[in-house]
Amino acid sequence: MLKKEDYEEPRCVLCMNPKSRIPIDRVLEKYDSYIEEKEYDRAESHLRYWLEEAKAGGDEAGELTMLGELMGHLRKNNKLEEAVLTASGTVSKVEKYGFSDTITGATAILNAGTVYRAAGENEKSAACYERAEKVYETELKEGDDRLGGLYNNFASALTELGEFGKAEERFKKALKIMDGTKNGKLECAITYLNLADLYEKRDGSVEAESLTDEMLTNAFELLTDDSVEKNAYYEFVLDKCIPAYDHFGQFIRSAELKSRIGIN
């Protein structure tokens, strides 16, 4: 149940002016605090509340932003079927509202692509990422960390489709951008593990062994770097990275990462 302190001065829906804007920054800050506290149900209720506020106020940009956050939350919390339905509806709304060439619209489409990738629908995923890439490369400054995230996700979808050259190019672009950004070490670690997966798929496990070991070593050094903030996102990333070390038979490193997040 959403409590009063979960939001700021909720407005009467009947009294709202058209095109009233929801306070995106404050909404996302509060959402992040719930995630940090591992209050996932309250975090979801918070997003849904402000999604309805955006709809009622005619805030189309706010609505798309909330939908993007909601589909990501659903994906991360294993509600994939609902996430896919949300993604499909969101892509349609981006076009309906005329946001296809905006950062807001591209971000919503990018989030939809990530949901499709999680569902194994890699062709749909790559198509979404390609659309987002065109807008991001036009509208964002070079080195923006949002481009790094896009390249990483797009490359993962391309890897699954067997387009290894295009995938490797984008992974390397992601590494250049993410190094030094907020959570950059964690993001680079993920990229190195993605590259290990790419090289194994492209070359086979035996031929790719030296390359995969290099990537796994690079990632492990970043995941165990003392300067990385140990928070909920750190735990989330380690939980997602551990299976890669198990897959490649690096069980000592896997055990070390598990110990850092309390897995026996």
The answer as to whether 5 is a domain residue is no
Instruction: Looking at the structure, tell me whether residues 107 and 159 fall in a common domain.
Output: no
Helical ranges in 20-179 per DSSP H? 24-36, 40-56, 60-76, 80-96, 103-118, 122-139, 145-160, 164-178
Number of domains in the chain: 2
What CA–CA distances, in Å, run from 148 to 97, 129, 235?
27, 12, 21
Instruction: Looking at the structure, tell me whether residues 122 and 158 fall in a common domain.
Output: no
The answer as to whether 1 is a domain residue is no
> Among 125-129, 138-142, 233-237, 259-263, which range has the highest average pLDDT?
125-129
What CA–CA distances, in Å, run from 78 to 72, 74, 109, 129, 247?
10, 6, 20, 22, 22
Checking if the pLDDT of 12 tops 70, the result is no
Instruction: Looking at the structure, tell me whether residues 204 and 93 fall in a common domain.
Output: no
The answer as to whether 176 is a domain residue is yes
Kindly report, residue by residue over 149-173, the tens digit of the pLDDT.
999 999 999 999 999 999 999 999 9
* Domain-ending residue, one of 139, 161, 185: 139
Predicted confidence at residue 183, as pLDDT, reads 84
Q: Which own/partner pairs from 157-161 qualify as long-range (CB within 8 Å, at least 24 positions apart)?
A: 157/113, 157/117, 157/122, 157/125, 157/126, 157/129, 158/126, 159/194, 159/197, 159/198, 159/201, 160/117, 160/122, 161/122, 161/123, 161/126
The answer as to whether 6 is a domain residue is no
Kindly report, residue by residue over 57-104, the tens digit of the pLDDT.
999 999 999 999 999 999 999 999 999 999 999 999 999 999 999 999
* Domain-ending residue, one of 139, 170, 189: 139
Count CB atoms within 10 A of the CB of residue 112: 31
Instruction: Looking at the structure, tell me whether residues 78 and 133 fall in a common domain.
Output: yes
In the chain, what percentage of residues exceed pLDDT 70?
Answer: 93
Confidence of residue 181 (pLDDT cuts 50, 70, 90): confident
Confidence of residue 179 (pLDDT cuts 50, 70, 90): confident
Instruction: Looking at the structure, tell me whether residues 122 and 217 fall in a common domain.
Output: no
Give Cα 137 distance to the centre of its chain: 18
Instruction: Looking at the structure, tell me whether residues 63 and 152 fall in a common domain.
Output: no
Instruction: Looking at the structure, tell me whether residues 25 and 124 fall in a common domain.
Output: yes
Contact yes or no for 54/25 (Cβ under 8 A): no
* Domain-ending residue, one of 139, 167, 182: 139
Checking if the pLDDT of 252 tops 90, the result is yes
Instruction: Looking at the structure, tell me whether residues 222 and 146 fall in a common domain.
Output: yes
Question: What is the rounded average pLDDT of the residues 204-228?
Answer: 96
Q: Could you tell me the CATH number of the domain that includes residue 110?
A: 1.25.40.10
Instruction: Looking at the structure, tell me whether residues 200 and 127 fall in a common domain.
Output: no
Collapsing DSSP to helix, strand or coil, 157 comes out as helix
Q: What is the mean pLDDT of the chain?
A: 91
Checking if the pLDDT of 5 tops 50, the result is no
The answer as to whether 3 is a domain residue is no
Kindly report, residue by residue over 105-151, the tens digit of the pLDDT.
999 999 999 999 999 999 999 999 999 999 999 999 988 989 999 99
Confidence of residue 20 (pLDDT cuts 50, 70, 90): confident
Q: Which residue has the tokens 């499709």?
A: 116
Contact yes or no for 126/112 (Cβ under 8 A): no
Confidence of residue 19 (pLDDT cuts 50, 70, 90): low
Checking if the pLDDT of 7 tops 60, the result is no
Predicted confidence at residue 193, as pLDDT, reads 97
**Dihedral angle of Cα 10, 11, 17, 20, to the nearest 10 degrees:** 0
Instruction: Looking at the structure, tell me whether residues 99 and 54 fall in a common domain.
Output: yes
The answer as to whether 8 is a domain residue is no
The answer as to whether 46 is a domain residue is yes
Count CB atoms within 10 A of the CB of residue 75: 22
Q: Where in the sequence is the domain holding 196, given as residue range(s)?
A: 141-264
CB contact burial 157-175 (16+ within 10 A = b; e otherwise): bbbbeebbeebbebbebbb
Count CB atoms within 10 A of the CB of residue 193: 24
The answer as to whether 12 is a domain residue is no
